[in-house]
Structure formats: structure tokens, C-alpha cells
Amino acid sequence: MLENYLPILVFIVIGLVIGTALLAVGYVLGPRKPSEGKLAAYECGFEAFEDSRMKFDVRYYLVAILFIIFDLEIAFLFPWAIVLDDIGLFGFAAMGIFLAILLLGFLYEWKKGALEWE
């Protein structure tokens, strides 16, 4: 029974050793020149510890939401590509319609200027 799980255990140990070694090498050999700008927390384009009622630019949130929407929609392509032989022409047409709707949404956002940063 142990011989079935031994390759998985070896794989996990090798991954942990390589990961730890790479982090240690980066820590030892990496430059250490901290400055106030590098150590400052960067959240959404404004200071983290200021008045919570100040106005801020919503473009940061808009870009993040658009990225999540289009990134998750594209994730549907992977399982579709795997079962494309099984679902046939109907599945291909359904994915074509899905991609057309996704493209229309992307073009709408582009035309509205949501992707422009000024």
C-alpha cells in the first residue's frame, strides 16, 4: 500500500525542498535597499491610513472587476476544449455563441473607455 503513495510523497518532498531552496537563495542574494517608497503599502492608488471618507478613483476597482469577469469567462474554455470530441457540433456552436457574447461585452467596455487610463 505504501508503494502506491511513495511517488506522491517523494514529489511533495522534492517540491518543498526546491521551493525552500529558491526562497533562501533569493533572500541571501537579493538586494537590500529599502526606501520609504518601497516599504509603503500600495492598495488602490491612495494612502492606506487616511480619512476613510475621502474621494478616490473607482478605475482601480473597475479594472479589477473587468479582469475577474473576463478571466473567469475564459476559464470556461479549458473544460470545453477537453470534451469537444464528445459534445460535437452543438457544443462548438454553443461555445461560439458564448464567445460572441463575451466579445460583445469586451467591445462595449472598450468603446465606453473603461480600459483607458488617461
pLDDT at residue 30 greater than cutoff 80: yes
More confident residue, 62 or 108: 108
- Give the per-residue pLDDT at 11: 96
In 3D space, the residue among 98, 114, 100 whose CA is nearest the CA of residue 64 turns out to be: 114
Q: Is residue 2 part of a domain?
A: no
- Give the per-residue pLDDT at 28: 95
DSSP 1-69: -HHHHHHHHHHHHHHHHHHHHHHHHHHHHS-----HHHHS--SSSS-TTS-TTS---THHHHHHHHHHH
Domain count, the chain: 1
Q: Is residue 101 part of a domain?
A: yes
> pLDDT digits over 71-104, tens only?
888 888 888 889 988 999 999 999 999 989 988 9
Q: Is residue 16 part of a domain?
A: no
- Give the per-residue pLDDT at 102: 87
Q: Is residue 33 part of a domain?
A: no
Range of the domain at 103: 55-118
C-alpha cell at 19: 521551493
pLDDT at residue 47 greater than cutoff 90: no
- When mean pLDDT is compared across 39-43, 59-63, 72-76, 110-114, the lowest value belongs to 39-43
Q: Is residue 70 part of a domain?
A: yes
pLDDT at residue 49 greater than cutoff 80: no
C-alpha cell at 63: 479594472
